Structure 1
Amino acid sequence: MSTIVDNRYKLASPVGRGATGVVWRAYDMLLDREVALKEIPLPPGPDAVERRRRVVREARMAARLSHRGIVTVHNLAEEAERLWIVMEFLEALTLHDTLVQAGPLPADLVAAMGRRLLDALRHAHDGGVIHRDIKPANIMLTGDRVVLADFGFAAPEGAASGSMRGTPAFLAPEALHGRGGTREADMWSFGATLYMAVEGQTPFRTVNSMAALAEALRGPARAPRRAGPLEPVLRGLLRKDPRARLSAEQASVLLARVRCTSAA
């Protein structure tokens, strides 16, 4: 028997896992369309209140952003001690899966992807939303769309960042000290993601813990070997001092130059 959520959404099959829950392919019986449902279990006891607060914040922040490069949020439901974020369904591969299957991508292709992703990121920032978990697994590629997904760690710009959030290999240095809720920190993660796309590895050695990341960040980043004209963008985005890091506007100009160079 199919599971039906909120008397409306018929679950079909799990299609992935985000930072905070499982994502299901589902069918909206009211509007006759496919959707994606992100299932977020609520822990027992008082922790459920805090989890609910965070999930509602995630859904509201993502829902107020309207951009073809950001996954669209339709609804939020609660049932069976779970919260369900209802989103558009995308028949897509993540950038992570693409790299696993195809290996590193050409610099001009990464620059084109980067321009679309940066446009979405600038829209989020202009709306006062900091993503805090930009990485290949949270970028979906479908047709001519590059879509930023999973706002599970997102926070309003200027909010106290508190504890560290995000994935170690793509975290800005300042995020290790609880200062990751800024545009500059998102730009570092954006740069690390582009580096992974073109080089096939992270800028610093692969790490799985904060201690290992702190140790890795004491040394220089790996020198790019495949980036070509993309190298100035990578170096500018991966400056350890956030005040010296490329802004979104500066990165946009440099990415456009990669396009011009490739077309010449």
Structure 2
Amino acid sequence: MRSPGEQQPEGGADGASRILAGRYRVTGRLGRGGMGVVWRAVDEVLGREVAVKELRTYNDAGSGELEELRTRMQREARAAARVRHSGVIAVHDVAQHEGRPVIVMELVEGPSLDDVLRERGSIEPREAAAVGAEVMDALAAAHAVGVMHRDVKPGNVLLEKRGQERVVLTDFGIAAMEDPDDGASTNLTVSGELVGSLDYLAPERARGEPPCPASDVWALGATLYAAVEGAAPFRRTSTWSTLNAIVVDPLPEPSRAGP
């Protein structure tokens, strides 16, 4: 269900036949989240398939809100583009569509780790370890150039199945960068605001402290725990109880991790 003021896509629910930014023809929807929609599209100039992320906006959005969205999108593109690693999503373009920014990225043919867990419940420890090693390499490359992802979770780990299998870290939408070089303050969130998926927050983030590279490593550990055990280690029934568990509870003893 859409909020009353939310802009509705042209071309039906899947957006098919829309032309974004004058050159990207939508062929279907890849995913949808709280911030917007990711479309499968064809770049009609270069003749290749791409993924296009379009932020959700509202008809009554003010110029200040649109400007912040534009800065966030540019920050996401800059963060991903700064990291040169095969395990990080490649960004091709940042464009405008009807006054709103869109990010054009490589199309990764394969499910997310979250999709796999929804279908299978869990994965074998060795398989999880292999995925984790690839994501850790990508995070190390990001941290080396001053980028912290801040939202490592199963939904942001893509498993490409076309040709050689590849693990890809995506969605740098809330990434933090040292020296972002975009004329905006480094922190685009309200002081004390929690950003990222609650189930995978590191304890220091749950306490409201600034993120650091170790926070991404913790989130990856929680992601791999969920992959092997079938549930995030500190998930509880409410936001407060989950935050409290992250900060004070010991890690639940894994039962499927093996030796």
Question: What is the TM-score when the length of structure 1 is the normalising length?
Answer: 0.81
Aligned pairs for 1:85-164 within 5 A: 85-143=103-161, 144-157=165-178, 159=186, 162=191, 163-164=193-194
User: How many angstroms apart in 2 are the aligned matches of 1:35 and 1:86?
Assistant: 7
Shift of 1:19: 5.5
Q: Determine if contact 1:157/1:181 at 8 Å carries over to the other structure.
A: no
The structure whose residues are more often helix, as a share, is 1
User: 1:156 offset after TM fit, Å?
Assistant: 0.8
CA contact (8 A) 2:154 2:223 kept: yes
Identity over aligned residues, as a percent? Answer: 44
Q: Which residue of 2 aligns with 1:77?
A: 95
- The TM-score with structure 2 as length reference comes to 0.82
Indicate conservation of the 8 Å contact 2:94/2:102, yes or no: yes
1:3 is aligned to 18
1:177 Cα deviation after fit: 3.2
Counterpart in the other structure of 1:186: 216
* CA distance in 2 between partners of 1:9 and 1:145 (Å): 25
After superposing the two structures, state which structure 1 stretch, 64-73 or 12-21, moved more: 12-21
Asked if residue 220 in structure 1 is aligned to residue 250 in structure 2, the reply is yes
Question: C-alpha separation between the residues in 2 aligned to 1:150 and 1:56?
Answer: 13
Between the aligned partners of 2:168 and 2:237, the Cα distance in structure 1 is: 26
Deviates more, 1:186-195 or 1:99-108: 99-108
Alpha-carbon contact 1:41-1:83 (below 8 Å) kept: no
Structure 1: stretches of 5+ with no match in the other structure: 230-264
Deviation at 1:18, TM superposition (A): 4.4
For 1:155, the aligned partner's letter is: A
The answer (yes or no) to whether the contact 2:36–2:55 under 8 Å persists in 1 is yes
Cα distance change of structure 1 residues 178 and 122 upon mapping to structure 2, 3 Å threshold: same
Structure 2 CA distance for aligned equivalents of residues 214 and 93 of structure 1: 29
1:138-197 per-residue CA deviation (whole Å, 9 max, x = no partner) reads 100113211101011101148557422101100011112332521011111010001011
User: 1:127 & 1:29 partners in 2: Cα distance?
Assistant: 33
